[in-house]
Amino acid sequence: MKRITLYSVLRFLFRNLTRVQVQNEEKVPSEGACILATNHMSRLDVPLLMISTPRQDLIALVADKYKTNILFSFMVQVTGSIWLDRGKADFTAFRSALDYLKKGGTLGIAPEGTRSTVRALLPGKPGAVLLAEKAHVPVVPVAITGTEDSVSKLFRLRRPDIQVIYGDVFWLPAMDRSDRDAWLEKYTDEIMCRIAVLLPSRYHGAYAGHPRLLELQAEAGMSASP
């Protein structure tokens, strides 16, 4: 099966089993490498990201615990996505992702490093920042809501309402080699806060009240939403 066929099947399933709204997908660069950095609350997030972006070259970092899942294993094979061992620093997966970005591809990644089970943002990890810095590529924040309880709703024969919102593309400055750890922390928070500002406040989790999030909300003329 080709990618276009897989996408057609996924779109059919999402269209008929859920109510999905996608906003600002035109903010994704139409060409050239970039990272789509998203929050992660459900197993549906990866296939949802793939069909909601206008890019046809998106691959994702997928936890290798899903290798035994027929759907995810098939999806990784068709799209050329990358298995990631979350139990260690997976340098093989990192190099594969870096090589793909350097070739001009689009990479989807959840900076939290794992699926949130608290229905809100977890502290981010520096993997997305390191990839963006080393590959010299921009980042597009993506906020997904409604997937956290979508599977349980489907089992109760209810169509979940799901929303995907793309934010403004941005570039990271060059790494401060004199204080690498502080730089990584600052720009990991930058990515996470740019995701958070696209989310209702109930999803802010570890970034609720973060000074950078408050700045971004002020810049956007936003007030807190539930």
| Residue 153 pLDDT grade (very low, low, confident, very high; cuts 50, 70, 90) | very high
**CA-wise closest residue to 225 among 206, 202, 208, 207:** 202
Among candidate residues 139, 111, 107, 140, the one with its CA nearest the CA of residue 123 = 111
pLDDT per residue over 75-113, tens digit each?
A: 999 999 999 998 888 999 999 999 999 999 999 999 999
Give this prediction's pTM.
0.94
Alpha-carbon gap, residue 22 to 36, rounded angstroms: 14
**Per-domain residue ranges for the chain?**
3-219
The CATH architecture one would assign to domain 3-219 is 3-Layer(aba) Sandwich (3.40)
Distance CA 79, CA 2 (A): 8
